[in-house]
Amino acid sequence: MATKIAFHGAARTVTGSKHLLTIGNKQILVDCGMFQGPRELRDRNYEPFPFDPADLDAVILTHAHMDHVGMIPKLIRDGYRGPVYCTRATKGISAISLPDSGRLQEEDAYQDRKRGRDVEPLYDEKDAYAALKSFEAVPYHQFHALPGGAQFQFRSSGHILGSAYAEIFLPNGERVLMTGDLGRYDAPIIKDPETVDWSEYLVIESTYGDRLHPQEDPLEFLHGVLSEVVADGSVLLVPSFAIGRTQELLYFIRMLQIQGRLPRIPIFVDSPMATSTTALYGGAKEEWDEEMTELMQEQYDPIEPEGLQFTRDRNSSKALNSMSGPMVIIAGSGMANGGRIQHHLLHRLGQERTHVLFTGYQAAETLGRRLLEGAPTVQIMGREVEVRAKVDKISSLSAHADQNEIFRFLGGFRQAPKTTFLVHGEPEAQDALAERIRTELGWNVEIPEHGQEFDLG
């Protein structure tokens, strides 16, 4: 039975993951993500799918980030009628993020029409809720049948809550391991990436394939920032991603309190999505690592610092403007290009007793990038704002494995795969990683182009 794999996203770029396995006459799509970033990439979202959604027999999701799950509502609206397999936590996070994405699609389309661009939303909130009916949760390490005589299981990838490798067993007995996004070792809350010792074909991400993460200790870095906030009574604004990053920040703040190194101060999570996601993290026992489990058993909730409050409506969010420090406000979006953080920045950037802390990568042309580059003034919601606040960035909270961590994962293999495919990375990162794998391990490496198909036998 002939098997092929085609790469319709995250090929020579980071976003838009869509990998199509054809087993005989059956088609299985692994991930269905949204293209993000520059306009030329985002425009791909409006093109027809490079396959007929009605011809797909199954969809497998590795995790709930939008560049892996964000086009599922459009896929189903355009004719897909089969199951969408995922872990329990991925289903839970998708139930939060996809309707929110639908609302944003509607708002973006409305703004485009005001600017004279006749663009329909990719999908709306109603489409997202309809799509969620197709999601089927599959436990980790439980084999599940696929059309065409294949089967698969999920194994923890350590990236975010619910993230998993999809280990697909073909009818001929060979395996295809789809890593999705590979997480980091010794990160808090969730389990480390599982060791895999064998697979004939490996599809692995390469986001940081050409670099190493900084060695700074996030706990010590945050201790320094928060000590300054407490000492001068300032307000710490944290533009943060709702899934994963916010929960890590809460964890480190809680650890400082447990260690007696941080007094109780008001800590506000001002993001409905982050609020709902944090509740999921607190209830997902099967995802916790050993330290998280021990702390919960000792009645120390590691992601609920003393003084934590969630603001669920706009009025509660606006009320924060009249409060003085010391306090912490964690709000989306992570690159400060939208969300409630913009209101807080508009109100407080001009004050010297404001500290802004970015927690991840800031793309070109975003408000976050301009602030980190030291812009003396910025535009927020149509208004010119002078920057008097202190702006900083913590660089050690990435949820993606760096080059050495990728090699640590590859080191678990007892024998080289027949082919290793590098996806989910920019060309420079992929080329550097491919060269190191070929040189040090002697493996056969392919870097697929967008739309390229390969025979797997």
For residue 266, give the nearest of 326, 319, 213 by alpha carbon: 326
Beta bridge partners of 331: 239, 270
CA–CA separation, 90 vs 163, rounded Å? 7
In the block, which residue shows the tokens 């190493």? 212
Q: What is the per-residue pLDDT for 402?
A: 96
For residue 56, give the nearest of 147, 177, 132 by alpha carbon: 147
Name the band, by pLDDT with cuts 50, 70 and 90, for residue 102.
very high
Domains and CATH numbers, the chain: 3-211+399-455 (3.60.15.10), 218-393 (3.40.50.10890)
39-44: which pairs have CB atoms within 8 A and are 24 or more residues apart? Answer: 41/13, 41/15, 41/16, 44/9, 44/16
Q: What is the per-residue pLDDT for 110?
A: 78
Q: Enumerate residues 6+ apart whose C-beta is below 8 A from 236.
A: 225, 226, 229, 325, 326, 327, 328, 329, 355, 356, 357
- What pTM value is reported for the model? 0.94
Please state whether beta strands 19-23 and 327-331 pair in parallel, antiparallel, or not at all (unpaired).
Answer: unpaired
CA–CA separation, 379 vs 364, rounded Å? 15
Q: What is the per-residue pLDDT for 323?
A: 95
Q: What is the per-residue pLDDT for 115?
A: 79
Cβ atoms 66, 9 nearer than 8 A: no
Q: Residue 245 phi/psi, 5° resolution?
A: -70, -45
Beta bridge partners of 84: 59, 135
Cβ atoms 27, 21 nearer than 8 A: yes
pLDDT in tens, 233-270: 999 999 998 999 999 999 999 999 999 999 999 999 99
Name the band, by pLDDT with cuts 50, 70 and 90, for residue 52.
very high
Average pLDDT over the chain, rounded to an integer = 95
